Structure 1
Amino acid sequence: MSAGTVTVYRNGRVFTGPGATASTLVVDGESIAHVGDDVPAAYADAEVVDLDGAALLPGFVDAHTHLIGLGTSLQQVDLLPATDLADLQRRIAAAAAADPEAPRIVGRSWLFGPLEGRTPTRHLLDEVVPDRPVYLISNDVHSGWVNTAALRELGIDDETPDPIGGSIARDTDGVATGMLYETAALGLMRDFLEGTETDESIDAALDAAFRHYRAAGVTAAIDMGLGELEVPAFERALRRHGGRLPIRVAGHWLVTRTDSVEGNLEQVRRAAELRDRLTGPWLRVNGIKIMVDGVIDSCTAAMKRPFADGSHPGPIWDLDALVPVVTAADAAGLQIALHAIGDEASDVALSALEQAVTANGPRERRHRIEHLETVTEENVARLADLGVIASMQPVHADPLIQDAWRAMLGDDRVERGFPWPEFTRAGARLAFGTDAPTAPYAPLPNMYVATTRRSAVAPDLPANLPEYALGLGEALAHATADAAYSGGWEAITGTLRPGLAADLVVLDRGLFAGAPEEMLEARVVMSLVSGQRGSAASSLSSR
């Protein structure tokens, strides 16, 4: 669609907010010109697209993702469907046999549940691929499982120290078992694998992520893991696409804990430099991201009480280390995103934000806490009182991937998992994303989990705490308007109203008046970003 072209979309279900729809929307060039139930006379000669009752929604905004990681994951061995250890081993062996020249085998999305209590070790992978390195990235991306050849390639031996904030699993003799946790996986393993990439392969991965997002109806995304690899890749993409990315991108610079306050603060200064330089409508840096703790599945989340196995790790960032960084970032006007999954981690995160507010004084802020899978009622209220955004991912509550999550907690804490409605009742802003590639990236299955608490992959499984399910209009608003707000885009995108960018998607059906499973069957037939069409609208008629 060229600038200045006017198109009338009529006879549809135009989502304008929870419980509200219109039938007509007019796009004039890059912007929305009219929303209502009529066609103003000024547009009498415009092109008309008859929606025939189909839904027209704001473009989805993924409030928390990892774009290059998503694109890269699409080329890795998918282990999420593995039903048991033997099935996982068969998939790895088949991938190795299919590409005998590949220098290494990389898999993704494996779960602890199908292992049925067996501890992942290098020997289990050596049984099927002994001659080449094998790297398996867990579904939550916070653990890595490697074979003996991979340990050798990484340079990990009995004397290798644990990195700050992570651990190399060892047996009783001190020998590495092949499991890497937190910064050992997110640092040692990830850094090595990234070092094997070229600019060309990274660019291809990023473009693949853009294509898949556009096809799925995502028109903007917030990348929660920028580093020295990601920023140049996004800038190359901006040049490659003529100064206009296929989707809008905002990012947060990942601050990793070092052994000095100055080393931590230097990363804040780097984020501020990038924020000041990258401020456009297509690519911007909003702030910093800090991993306060790990994840529940591998017992690395910071919890107030021990896990079922008796382990009780502390946070990756304790309060004393976190406060100087959060205070400096807040003083610099950076948006702070704090990964906090465990109930103790959210306590630490909120305490750090409170101290920053006290130190720097009152002003408008838009800080965020990511995930919040377990959180006390008291901290839900604290978060709302501080005006902190709750950034959560419905697909992480999918019952299919909950077995290990529930087993690791093993007590009443599983009854308060992913309590989305509590945040909105407390008055907090709730933004939805996917955290791809830790979970499927498509927004409609994400909405299915949000509104049913059932599995988007195996819908016959029992719902996971169905009392926390949301209404469809509310879930859509969290994935569009609230997600856009979390990225500072509310004056550009996220809702369908005149004057905003024409970022929208058209589905092949209405707004799911029938069975919820329609959300799993629905397809995007058109997506627009600033009025430019993406996927073809072959099922729509126009004149």
Structure 2
Amino acid sequence: MAVTDGTVSWIGEDRPGRALHPDAEIVDLGGAFVAPAFVDTHVHTTATGLALIGLDLGAAESLTACLDRVRRYAAEHPDTVVWGQNWDETTWPEQRPPTTAELEEAAPGRAVYLTRIDAHSAVCSEALRRAAGVPAESDTPVVADAHHAVRRAARALLTADDRHRARVAALDLAASRGVAAVHECAGPDISGLADLGELLTVEHGVEVRAYWGEAVTTADDARDLLAATGAHALGGDLFVDGSIGSHTAWLHDPYSDATTSGLAYLDPDAIAAHLAACTTADIQAGFHVIGDAATGAVVEAIERVATDLGGPAVAGRGHRLEHLEMVTAEQAAVLGARGVIASVQPVFDAYWGGEHGMYATRLGAERARALNPLSLLASSGVSLALGSDSPVTPLDPWAGVRAAVHHRTAGSAISPRAAFAAATRGAWRAGGVRDGVAGTLVAGAPASYAVWDVDELVVSAPKDSVQRWSTDPRSRVPALPRLDDDARAPRCLRTVHRGVTVFGS
């Protein structure tokens, strides 16, 4: 492969390549695997970095272990907010989150903010509750507006250096995982305008495309908001509802383990107004949507706007839905016909799917089996793009590809070819790049690629193979590494974006 001015200029055999480019700098990769670089379509950059440099509770195996980590972190960092992430009470023997009193015992008088793994609820100390104006005596995790208030109060306690180190750590991690670009899903209640502005000034080789999750009602409002925020689109985590783990996803029927049907943050009228405004202003829009009632509200709104403005106008904007975990065949057909892109997180299924996982606990086994139907979406013409929602799940694109291929529900998986394409070509398309070559390695494509150390490439697979790795050259997908349970994960040796090396081991 030859690269000229950040673009792939030639692909072919070594010998003629050297003859055609006698003065080129030659890098011998020693048989390593080269493939298009990944794009992660759903990332919270600062939060990801805070988990890397701060208190990550994802490995805590019990409530006691979680509190021990809080106690130790508070002792080692006496002058800062105790910001922790990724606890999951459904994996603990105690089956409950920490109480306010337990946090007070672990870190007396300190501002403690510990967000659940889905980032839609949190536990926090009395001091932080008081600072946020939230009842201090409650032991219930904060959700919705109370959670937003607590997060704002905790964020205000972070120093500029804390935030900068976190962002650089997150982007460095992305580069080391073969990721050339991330889509930052920001918003007024998620990370705030100041955080987004600071992120967009960070000089780093990993490209950042910014989504701002705030609803508008007119095209002028959409244009003004885009200009004011510096974002590239008005979508991402524009919440229609919350999450299943925190009982805040909006459902038609109540949760199996609670008396609630979740929360609705936007109704069909507000969704339609935002879609119409962005469509008219030629701006990509999108929403965070998880529960079946939330999906129904979005589909209703899309059809309304398509009726008013025309189907081609809606389809031409490439509007996005994040997560889209509960969707019927009829709804998928509408989304496919309207050119909607689904930014999905396959590792959600790997974490919480299955007959005895968190989804089954929250929704019952029957509803849980229907979650994250990747094959249904793809077969309905919905363009897929893979993301991590980091720090909710790790910023690890191969893990996402593998989870999409090994879905826990029979019939919901997609092929390795489709999964890899959704993490590369489909992800560029989800970010508005529709040149037909981004995410591939052909002459004329951006030279954005990664070099991998892998155990074995599956060049051709028997027809009865479970893997069914595609080698059809028309797919523009290279031979792929084995991602079976017994296969070593690919190790990134180098990441290059538009001809510039952004990571090299």
> So what's the TM-score if we normalise by structure 2?
0.86
**1:90 counterpart SS class:** helix
- Which of 202, 205, 211 is the aligned partner of 2:172? 211
- Equivalent in the alignment of 2:444: 499
Asked whether the equivalents of residues 210 and 232 of structure 2 are also in contact (C-alpha less than 8 Å), the reply is: yes
Show the 5 A alignment for 1:353-372: 353-361=302-310, 362-363=312-313, 364-372=316-324
SS at match of 1:127: helix
**Whole-angstrom CA distance in 2 between matches of 1:489 and 1:327:** 22
- Determine the C-alpha separation between the residues in 1 that align with 2:46 and 2:440: 27
Alignment-derived partner of residue 396 in structure 2? 442
Which residue of structure 2 lines up, in the alignment, with residue 529 of structure 1?
Answer: 497
Question: Could you tell me how far apart the structure 1 residues matched to 2:493 and 2:264 are?
Answer: 44
Match of 1:122 among 100, 105, 120: 100
- CA spacing shift, 1:128–1:378, aligned 2, 3 Å: same
- Kept after mapping to 2: 8 A contact 1:327/1:355: no
Tell me the amino acid that sits aligned with residue 202 of structure 1.
R
Q: Is the 8 A contact 2:63 2:98 kept in 1?
A: no
Range with greater deviation from structure 2 (349-358 or 334-343): 349-358
Do residues 78 (structure 1) and 56 (structure 2) align? yes
Distance in 2 (CA, whole Å) between partners of 1:504 and 1:405 is 36
Decide whether the 8 Å contact of 1:69 with 1:437 is kept in 2. Answer: yes
Structure 2 stretches lacking a partner, 5+ long: 458-479
Query: Percent identity over the alignment?
Result: 29
In 2, Cα distance between equivalents of 1:150 and 1:231:
23
Q: 1:339 to 1:516 in 2, by over 3 A?
A: same
The CA distance in 2 between the partners of 1:518 and 1:61, in whole Å, is 26
Distance in 1 of aligned mates of 2:179 and 2:451: 11
State how far apart, in whole Å, the 2-side matches of 1:387 and 1:430 are: 11
User: Which residue number corresponds to residue 424 of structure 1?
Assistant: 378
* Structure 1 stretch displaced more, 132-141 or 265-274: 265-274
SS class of match (1:396): helix
Deviation digits for residues 253-292 of structure 1, max 9, x if unmatched? 1216xxxx87x988634334258xx6xxxxx613334210
Please tell me the residue identity of whatever aligns with 1:338: F
Q: Once structures 1 and 2 are overlaid, which stretch shifts more, 365-374 or 200-209?
A: 200-209
The structure 2 residue matched to 1:349, chosen from 288, 295, 298, is 298
Q: How much has 1:326 moved relative to structure 2?
A: 2.3
Could you tell me which residue of structure 1 aligns to residue 121 of structure 2? 143
The residue that corresponds to 1:252 in the other structure is 211
Q: Judge conservation of contact 1:268–1:288 (CA < 8 Å) in 2.
A: no
Q: Give the superposition deviation at 1:449.
A: 1.8
SS of 1:176 mapped into structure 2: coil
CA-to-partner distance for each residue in 1:87-119, whole Å, 9 max, x for gaps?
1111111212222x2343111000121344335
1:516 to 464, 484, 504: 484
Q: Which residue of 1 aligns with 2:235?
A: 288
Structure 1 residue aligned with 2:250, among 282, 296, 302? 302
Q: Is 1:321 paired with 2:289?
A: no
Residue of structure 1 in register with 2:199 after alignment: 234
Q: 1:426 to 1:211 in 2, by over 3 A?
A: same
Name the SS for the 1:493 alignment partner.
coil
- SS of the aligned residue for 1:527 comes to strand
Q: How does 1:267-278 map to 2 (within 5 A)?
A: 268-274=222-228
Q: How does 1:162-241 map to 2 (within 5 A)?
A: 175-185=137-147, 187-226=148-187, 227-237=192-202, 241=203
- Find the counterpart in structure 2 of residue 482 from structure 1: 426
| Number of residue pairs aligned between Structure 1 and Structure 2 | 467
Residue of structure 2 in register with 1:27 after alignment:
3
CA contact (8 A) 2:118 2:246 kept: no
Partner SS state of residue 152, structure 1: helix
**Change over 3 Å in CA distance of 1:181–1:317 after alignment to 2:** same
Q: Which has the higher strand share?
A: 1
Query: In the aligned structure 1, how far is the partner of 2:482 from the partner of 2:358?
Result: 33
Cα pair 1:431 1:478 within 8 Å, conserved: yes
- Which amino acid letter does the alignment assign opposite residue 254 of structure 2? P
AA aligned opposite 2:112: V
1:328-380 C-alpha deviation (Å, 9 max, x unpaired): 12211111111100111111112112222222234222001110112122211
- The runs of 5 or more residues in structure 1 that have no matched partner are 1-24, 159-174, 279-283, 454-463, 538-543
SS of 2:84's partner is strand
Within 1, Cα distance between the matches of 2:225 and 2:360?
Answer: 36
Q: Deviations over 1:124-181 (max 9, x none)?
A: 32332233122101111111111223212323237xxxxxxxxxxxxxxxx5224111
TM-score with structure 1 length normalisation? 0.80
Q: CA deviation at 1:527?
A: 0.8
State the secondary structure of the residue aligned to 1:47.
coil
Deviation string 1:286-311 (CA, Å, 9 cap, x unpaired) is: 33342100000111101121111231
Distance 1:246 1:519 in 2: 30
Do residues 390 (structure 1) and 342 (structure 2) align?
yes
Distance 1:266 1:117 in 2: 48
Give the superposition deviation at 1:43.
1.8
CA RMSD of aligned residues (A): 2.5
Deviation at 1:401, TM superposition (A): 7.7
C-alpha separation between the residues in 2 aligned to 1:380 and 1:418? 12
Q: Which whole-Å CA distance do the structure 2 matches of 1:213 and 1:105 have between them?
A: 25
Change (3 A) 1:500 1:310: same
Query: Does the 8 Å contact 2:63/2:89 carry over to 1?
Result: no
Which residue in the other structure is 1:469 paired with? Answer: 413
